[in-house]
Amino acid sequence: MFGSGKKNELNVLILRDADVILWSLRQALAQADETERPGLEWALDLAEQAAAAHDDDLRARWVRERLAAAGYEGDPQSATAIKALRQEAPGLSLLSAVQLAKAAAEQRPAG
């Protein structure tokens, strides 16, 4: 999810494969019988919602998930959170961790 770039540049790559998932669901829906259609329509709707998510939301969710995996529940911008984030994502630079944590703090969790 992250890589190295210029020294002071946040270099985070969001990978999306939603187009392949959406295509597969649409193909399955086109071939589905009446008993399968409601479940596939529901799955397609969920996949379309997920595909529409903004990159900032995905980054924020990624940060929250890493912090939760570390057992951290407080302010994502705290020094403890930054340390936990870097422990959960070895190779993440201090600058990138701070920038990601700041972005996560600015995003409200969905749900």
Axis crossing angle, helix 18-31 with helix 37-51, rounded to the nearest 10: 160
Whole-angstrom distance, CA of residue 69 vs CA of residue 65: 6
Residue 8: is its pLDDT beyond 90?
no
CA-based nearest residue to 72, from 86, 56, 93: 86
Amino acid at 66: R
User: Domains of the chain: which residue ranges?
Assistant: 18-106
**Tens digits of per-residue pLDDT, 27-37?**
999 999 999 99
**Tens digits of per-residue pLDDT, 47-69?**
999 888 888 888 899 999 999 99
Which H helix or E strand runs over 3? Answer: none
Global pTM reads 0.66
